[in-house]
């Protein structure tokens, strides 16, 4: 079976971890600091603060940007659950706006219409590695004095009008989960040009300590380890080459599958540089299940996208249930029963992914192409 994702770790990463083991410094230390500096330099920001995972990066960035219980944060309904849970975990309400048909990212015009006096942040998701259209979102955010957070968990090395994702807004959050374009196993990072945001994230990730055993803020234990940072330093050096391999595979798919009438292939806008974390194809909802079943029988691990948009997740309708949500008393008034986001809802029935990771051989790419054609014939 050709897997949908395949973490690629070699001797260089093993040697980097061995060096950490031999150093005796296992928790956050000089490797983490070096990784932060190198990642900030790569993205093009003044600061980067490494944390335990991508969800922690989103949550801490929201707090550092001033989001508090009772506030509203506008975001996309077509994303992994962390885009919503990170907002809920700071006591705020996610306000979902529908997505565009072309990129599957949040529609800038709908962002403008969703702003209320309670809106305290906009979280923009760069889904699948294709950047969202940032300029109109940043324009309305500036008009309304609302900070913008990039959820760049799938967009390592992607670019918007020549600038890397992670450097486009007030702050950004990346994930280094095992299936991402670069990995540290688990891990995340917040990038920003704001000294205030960087300092607050640094405090919050380490129990709110301003000096040893002096806790002036209520913080968390969300630090990155030296092991993770050592792997990250190696993976970062390989990121551009690995992304270029993904781009080459994606171009081949788009060329060789373009004449198949039952499929809508992903696009890359002229102003974007896609990182191709995922190669997302659309087909009619009734045809997707049988097509995926045929592909798996042919040895290709093709998978559907998220089973539902975020506003339809079971917990979203049960936020006031204390058995399921320890912050239940904050949320009893939230209801999404009347929310209709037709594009996102339709896409969850139509989108599926085929393998595009950088470790695919040319022979495996050929097999994926042939299998898709055979499954549709």
Q: How confident is the model at residue 25 (pLDDT cuts 50, 70, 90)?
A: confident
For CATH 3.90.1150.10, list the domain ranges present in the chain. 239-306+344-376
pLDDT for 331 equals: 87
Kindly state the DSSP code that residue 52 receives in the 8-state scheme: S
pLDDT tens, residue by residue, 269-282: 999 999 999 999 99
Q: 239-306+344-376, what's its fold? A: 3.90.1150
**Which of 225, 213, 203, 222 lies closest to 64, judged by CA?**
203
Residue 360: C-alpha distances to residues 158, 184, 277, 364, 366 (Å): 20, 20, 13, 6, 10
What is the phi/psi pair of residue 367, to 5°?
Answer: -65, -40
Tell me if 318 sits within 8 A of 293, measured CB to CB.
Answer: no
pLDDT tens, position by position, 351-370? 999 999 999 999 999 999 99
Task: Specify the pLDDT at position 13.
Answer: 96
Query: Can you tell me the mean pLDDT for 242-267?
Result: 97
140-149 pLDDT, tens digit each: 999 999 999 9
Q: What is the pLDDT of residues 302-317, one digit of tens each?
A: 999 999 999 999 999 8
State the average pLDDT for the chain: 96
Indicate the pTM of the whole model.
0.97
In the chain, CATH 3.40.640.10 covers: 11-234
Q: Which residues pair with 50 in a beta bridge?
A: 189
DSSP-derived 3-state class of residue 94: strand
The answer to whether 151 touches 79, Cβ cutoff 8 Å, is yes
User: Could you give the count of Cα atoms lying within 13 Å of 118 in the half-sphere of its Cβ?
Assistant: 13
Identify the pLDDT of residue 321: 92
Taking the C-alpha atoms of residue 328 and residue 324, their distance in angstroms, rounded to an integer, is 8
Taking the C-alpha atoms of residue 266 and residue 374, their distance in angstroms, rounded to an integer, is 20
Which CATH number applies to 11-234: 3.40.250.10, 1.25.40.10, 3.40.720.10, 3.40.640.10? 3.40.640.10
């Amino acid at each position: 079976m050709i897997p949908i994702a395949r973490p690629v770790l070699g001797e260089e990463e093993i040697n980097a971890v061995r060096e950490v083991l031999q150093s005796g410094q296992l928790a956050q230390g000089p490797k983490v600091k070096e990784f932060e500096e190198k990642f900030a330099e790569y993205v093009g920001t003044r600061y980067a603060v490494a944390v335990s995972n991508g969800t922690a990066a989103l949550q801490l960035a929201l707090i550092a940007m001033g989001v508090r219980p009772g506030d509203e944060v506008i975001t996309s309904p077509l994303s992994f659950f962390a885009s919503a849970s990170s907002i809920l975990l700071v006591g705020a309400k996610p306000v979902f706006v529908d997505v565009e048909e072309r990129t599957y990212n949040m529609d800038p015009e709908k962002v403008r219409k969703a702003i209320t006096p309670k809106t305290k942040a906009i979280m923009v998701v760069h889904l699948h590695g294709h950047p969202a259209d940032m300029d109109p979102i940043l324009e309305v955010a500036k008009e309304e004095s609302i900070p913008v957070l990039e959820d760049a968990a799938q967009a390592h090395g992607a670019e918007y009008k020549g600038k890397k994702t992670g450097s486009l807004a007030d702050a950004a959050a990346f994930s280094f989960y095992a299936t991402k374009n670069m990995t540290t196993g688990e891990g995340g990072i917040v990038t920003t040009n704001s000294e205030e945001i960087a300092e607050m994230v640094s405090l919050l990730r380490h129990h709110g300590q301003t000096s040893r055993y002096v806790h002036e803020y209520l913080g968390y234990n969300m630090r990155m380890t030296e092991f993770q940072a050592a792997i990250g330093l190696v993976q970062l050096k390989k990121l551009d080459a690995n992304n270029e391999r993904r781009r080459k595979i994606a171009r081949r798919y788009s060329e060789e599958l373009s004449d198949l009438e039952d499929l809508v292939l992903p696009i890359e806008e002229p102003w974007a540089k896609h990182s191709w974390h995922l190669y997302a194809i659309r087909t009619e909802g009734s045809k997707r299940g049988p097509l995926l079943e045929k592909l798996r029988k042919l040895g290709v691990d093709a998978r559907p996208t998220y089973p539902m948009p975020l506003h339809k997740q079971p917990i979203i309708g049960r936020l006031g249930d204390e058995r399921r949500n320890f912050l239940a008393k904050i949320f009893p008034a939230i209801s999404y029963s009347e929310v209709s986001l037709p594009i996102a809802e339709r896409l969850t029935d139509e989108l599926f992914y085929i393998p595009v990771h950088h470790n695919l051989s040319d022979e495996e790419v050929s097999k994926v192409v042939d299998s898709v054609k055979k499954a549709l014939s």
